């Protein structure tokens, strides 16, 4: 019953479309004779005009059917439809011309009539279709109230900016009314794109805003340098303008998203770094067809490791995580991305050696990326036993099991806080580095390549200040910063993980790699910039409150210990540290193993004192 209803509706629609096209084509043909003969068609040609009308229109209708112009929605008219209409009309006119030349029929059409008929037919059908499209867009587009509510300026008058303006005009970017373009190209200044003037450079935003009255800016410059993007964002934020941006150039060219899917400019855009060039083939070859294990798979770094490793086609990817909830989230994400056939979620604690042993024996991983850790500085400062147990003993136990089960590569995710540590978290990570180094130097690592990779804070991780600042701004402040001069290094999560994978290819065993983290960022400046990005004014709309350094925190992160020197690697963003002496390695393994029965009987200060004995450069905070 439903099928018959749909069929009847479809037939009625086709009949209506055919009738409309017939009227348009008959009118075009009749008008072409009138125009050719200055509205005085000779009497002896009237019969020829009438005789040619129905055959020519019938051929045109048949060609429109063949080129799917009857089945396409009339109110959706685009460039492919235009080309098909032109092809249909041109074919019909050329066929009529050939028929007159070779058939020598009494109904030979004058060439002027054929040419005018071709132009009128194309123009009439296209005008009809465009009128229907404009009518649809006006009826379904944003209301005048919505348009007036968000008058926006578009930065970038290139292809992306033009596409965005077109999307806004069509109603697909609802609630936005572009009023002006800004662009760095002086040749575009004063020109028009889709009816909008290119008024000047972004640096002239104050004068342009006064003339065009907008409070919202959209960046449509996905190919611009990171430096220039930061400059423009800072300019707009200083004017109190809300700033959005179009998707990245990779997302746009891949077709994953449309240009109208704008999003707010985030701190990642403000602190963005130049794209990292990786040896993608080398990374993929090191992972492809191997079993790879990632610990801490539900954390920020672990989850990104899983994402980047999964696309390299490992034979199996083991997602090891203690938190069932965190493991479920990354598992569902990877299943949704099409990797359900290769992933294996494993609920396990790295301190549970029988369980880890069972996992290694069953799945036999060739690569282990160890990201599981306690990493919150202030939390670990108050319970140092847990930091040592998880970060130091857990790493040593996992590494020993990896050696025993023939794992080829063991990569430990360390931190820049392990350099001259002042926190228990940093000291516990440094102790883990030394334990791995001792396994390598003593020969106990066997054929397993042991290496550690250090880097600083990652934007968007659970321990980063960025999500904390976002929440505080959303709540109306204050934004809390520990000290006016505190600085940190920042990287994006994908960038850090990509370089970790690159380091795993470079390492031969025993190395400590340090990633190039760029220039340090003053946290107070970061807070001000995030407030400005929200369209607010620091210390006016949102207070910045300084709370003092917490136990274990440094003002400045350091790049290397005084006993270390760095040497370059084949990758410009990765350096390798070489210890000037192995004297600090003596007894690390024995001290760690010997601490097991005492950790939960010692007081926190006792544990810090013990850590200081193992790591002389550690400066503990003693309460």
Per the CB < 8 A criterion, the answer to whether 294 and 317 are in contact is yes
Burial of residue 403 (CB within 10 Å: 0-12, 13-18, 19+) is: middle
Using CA atoms, how far apart are residues 184 and 151, in angstroms rounded to an integer?
21
Using CA atoms, how far apart are residues 156 and 193, in angstroms rounded to an integer?
11
In 3D space, the residue among 537, 622, 600 whose CA is nearest the CA of residue 238 turns out to be 537
In 3D space, the residue among 359, 361, 357, 374 whose CA is nearest the CA of residue 323 turns out to be 374
Omega within 30 of 0 (cis) for the link into 359: no
| Assigned token pair, 260 | 């109208």
Q: Is 470 a catalytic residue?
A: no
Q: Looking at 188, 417, 554, 576, which residue is catalytic? A: 417
In 3D space, the residue among 165, 124, 175 whose CA is nearest the CA of residue 145 turns out to be 175
Per the CB < 8 A criterion, the answer to whether 173 and 145 are in contact is no
Q: Report the run of H or E that residue 292 belongs to, with start and end.
A: strand 291-295
Using CA atoms, how far apart are residues 221 and 157, in angstroms rounded to an integer?
9
The sign one gets for the Cα dihedral 488, 491, 497, 499 is negative
Using CA atoms, how far apart are residues 550 and 613, in angstroms rounded to an integer?
23
Show Cβ contacts of residue 206 under 8 Å, excluding neighbours closer than 6 positions.
Answer: 239
Burial of residue 355 (CB within 10 Å: 0-12, 13-18, 19+) is: middle
Using CA atoms, how far apart are residues 561 and 427, in angstroms rounded to an integer?
13
| Assigned token pair, 36 | 């050719």
Per the CB < 8 A criterion, the answer to whether 326 and 320 are in contact is no
In 3D space, the residue among 42, 22, 39 whose CA is nearest the CA of residue 31 turns out to be 39
Per the CB < 8 A criterion, the answer to whether 619 and 421 are in contact is yes
Q: What are phi and psi of 323, to 5 degrees?
A: -85, 115
Active site residues: 417
């Amino acid at each position: 019953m439903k099928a018959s209803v749909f069929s009847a509706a479809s037939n009625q629609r086709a009949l209506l479309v055919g009738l409309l096209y017939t009227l348009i084509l008959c009118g075009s043909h009749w008008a072409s004779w009138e125009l050719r003969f200055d509205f005085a068609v000779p009497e002896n040609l009237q019969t020829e005009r009438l005789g040619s009308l129905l055959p020519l229109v019938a051929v045109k209708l048949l060609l429109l059917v063949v080129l799917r112009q009857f089945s396409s929605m009339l109110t959706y008219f685009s460039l492919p439809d235009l080309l098909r209409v032109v092809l249909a009309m041109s074919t019909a006119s050329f066929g009529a011309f050939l028929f007159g030349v070779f058939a020598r029929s009494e109904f030979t059409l004058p060439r002027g009539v054929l040419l005018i008929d071709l132009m009128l037919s194309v123009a009439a059908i296209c005008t009809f279709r465009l009128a229907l499209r404009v009518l649809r867009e006006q009826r379904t587009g944003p209301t005048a109230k919505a348009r007036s509510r968000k008058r926006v300026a578009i930065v970038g008058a290139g292809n992306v900016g033009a596409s965005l303006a077109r999307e806004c005009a069509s109603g697909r970017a609802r609630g936005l009314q572009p009023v002006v373009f800004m662009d760095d190209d002086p040749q575009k200044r004063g020109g028009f794109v889709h009816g909008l003037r290119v008024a000047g450079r972004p640096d002239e935003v104050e004068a342009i805003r006064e003339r065009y009255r907008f409070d919202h800016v959209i960046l449509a410059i996905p190919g611009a340098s990171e430096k220039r993007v930061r400059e423009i964002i800072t300019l707009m934020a200083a004017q109190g303008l809300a700033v959005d941006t179009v998707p990245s150039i990779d997302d746009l060219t891949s077709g994953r998203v449309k240009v109208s899917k704008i999003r707010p400019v985030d701190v990642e855009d403000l602190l963005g770094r130049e794209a990292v060039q990786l040896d993608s083939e080398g990374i993929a070859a090191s992972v492809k067809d191997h079993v790879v294990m990632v610990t801490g798979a539900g954390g920020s770094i672990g989850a990104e490791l899983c994402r980047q490793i999964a696309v390299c086609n490992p034979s199996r990817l083991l997602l090891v995580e203690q938190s069932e909830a965190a493991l479920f989230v990354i598992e569902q994400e990877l299943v949704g991305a099409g990797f359900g056939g290769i992933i294996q979620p494993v609920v396990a604690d790295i301190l549970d050696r029988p369980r880890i042993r069972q996992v290694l024996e069953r799945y036999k991983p060739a690569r282990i990326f160890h990201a599981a850790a306690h990493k919150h500085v202030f939390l670990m400062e108050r319970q140092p036993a847990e930091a040592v147990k998880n970060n130091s003993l857990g790493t040593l136990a996992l590494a020993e099991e990896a050696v025993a089960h023939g794992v080829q590569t063991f990569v430990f995710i360390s931190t820049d806080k392990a350099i001259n540590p002042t926190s228990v978290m940093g000291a516990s990570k440094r102790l883990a580095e030394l334990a791995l180094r001792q396994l390598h130097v003593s020969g106990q690592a066997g054929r397993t390549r042991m290496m550690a990779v250090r880097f600083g804070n990652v934007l968007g991780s659970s321990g980063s200040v960025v999500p904390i600042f976002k929440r505080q701004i959303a709540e109306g402040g204050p934004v809390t910063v520990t000290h006016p001069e505190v600085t940190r290094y920042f990287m994006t999560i994908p960038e850090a993980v990509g370089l970790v994978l690159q380091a795993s290819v470079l390492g031969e065993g025993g190395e400590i790699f340090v990633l190039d983290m760029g220039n340090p960022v003053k946290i107070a400046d970061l807070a001000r910039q995030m407030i400005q990005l929200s369209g607010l004014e620091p210390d006016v709309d949102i207070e910045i409150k300084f709370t003092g350094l917490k136990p274990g925190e440094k003002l400045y992160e350091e790049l290397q210990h005084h006993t270390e020197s760095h040497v370059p690697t084949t990758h410009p963003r990765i350096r390798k540290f070489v210890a000037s002496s192995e004297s600090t390695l003596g007894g690390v393994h024995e001290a760690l193993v010997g601490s097991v029965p005492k950790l939960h009987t010692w007081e926190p200060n006792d544990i810090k004192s013990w850590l200081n004995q193992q790591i002389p450069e550690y400066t503990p905070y003693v309460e």
